[in-house]
Amino acid sequence: MSKKDLRILVIGQTPPPFGGQAMMIEYMLNNKYEGVQMYHVRMCFSREMNERGKISLYKITHIFWIIKQAYLLKFKYKIDALYYPPSNSPKVSVLRDIILLLFIRPIFKKTIFHFHAAGIMEEIPKMNPIIKMLALIALKKPDLAITSSVFNPQDGVFLEAKRNVIVPLGVPDEYPQNLAALQTDLPEIKILFVGLLNSTKGEGVLLEAVHQLHEQGYKIQLQIAGKFESEEYREAFFADVKKYGVENNVEYLGIIKGKEKEKAFCNADIFCFPSYFVSESFGVVLLEAMQYKLPIVATRWRGIQSIVEDGKSGYLVDIKNATQVAAKIKILIDDPEFRKTMGDYSREVFLQKYTIEKYIENLNESFLLIND
């Protein structure tokens, strides 16, 4: 490490749980940079996705542990800059960020905010006056604000960042060379959904679309992977499955990773992600679908619009519109050759824009801007 290297302390969660933000922070930490040296204090407020937004004694004590570790590393290694990914929801996570940043940010010369969760500019005006004042003290005027898409809320501009940059996300290319050996021939068209199951990710909209197609006589197998945010929502979701009469057409895969995840993507025909999640900024799962040559049906919602090229790598539909979702899936089912062409184009775009190498290169350049 050179004495001239920019030293950055990263405060952020890495898996588990396997959410998009945690995965992206892990990818960032596991790569090498020119002129940048990273240190890490691992957040671990939620050990499962369904623990988000819940207060516990463990979480309160964890706040103090993070503050202590940040001070120790800052002065031991003479770290220049703080990297932090602010939340925009739930409210308890925003309050956590305020507390941490009020204590930690003042000891660093520079601050980098990476808005993996987009939309804090929409939440701050809704806060009561005291919380709003503290939020602005904690968050205003970072040296660098990073977002992943021009379609996301302009949080950095709202917070008067000295520099605002757009860095599209990227993931490792895990496309298998022996794809044919991993695939199974089934008569049904397989539609895959992967994500946090909390209703606003759009799995309920997709279920309704599958019901509509089932009523029209299409043979479809919907595979859903992810963690239900609550047991109550899980019960409500499967009550809808029963109500629609598609029990034999819906398979719940649970949380998938490694070979299970590879198998699910390899055997899918279409990837569907009709999200309108308040914190959605890019959709890492869309990049994973693209690398596996899957055509995508997704929503015109924030950074998703940067990824899916409507009519070329997939289709974009309005949020909360099951009829539009069903119509686009129907086009892809009815035309297998076009479906393949779309999937092939998806992978081409992935290789051009969304590899982990491209992401790290762009991050590296952005980090060094704060030295200018």
Task: Find out whether 189 and 220 touch, Cβ atoms under 8 Å.
Answer: yes
CA 189 to chain centre: 26
Tokens of 271: 């990837």
Closest alpha carbon to 188 in 216, 220, 215: 220
Are 370 and 36 a contacting pair, CB within 8 Å? Answer: no
Rounded Cα distance between 79 and 75, Å, is 7
pLDDT of residue 17: 83
Write down the pLDDT at residue 158: 98
- Whole-number Å distance between alpha carbons of 142 and 162: 6
Structural domains of the chain ordered from first start? 6-170+355-369 (3.40.50), 189-354 (3.40.50.2000)
Helix (H/G/I), strand (E/B), else coil: 91: helix
pLDDT of residue 260: 94
pLDDT of residue 3: 60
| pLDDT attached to residue 1 | 52
Task: Please tell me what DSSP assigns to residue 45.
Answer: S
Element (H, E) at 43: strand 36-43
How does 264-298 read in b/e, with b if 16+ C-beta sit within 10 Å? bbbbbbbbbbbbbbebbbbbbbbbbbbbbbbbbbb
Q: Residue 240 has what pLDDT?
A: 98
**Element spanning 260, H or E:** helix 258-267
DSSP state at residue 106: G
Structure tokens that stand for 30 in this block: 């596991």
Residue 140, SS3 per DSSP? coil
Nearest to 118, CA basis, from 248, 261, 282, 257: 282
In angstroms, rounded to a whole number, what is the distance separating the alpha carbons of residues 250 and 61? 41
pLDDT, one tens digit per residue, over 90-99 is: 889 999 999 9
Residues of the chain with pLDDT under 50: none
CA distance linking residue 325 with residue 305, whole number of Å: 15
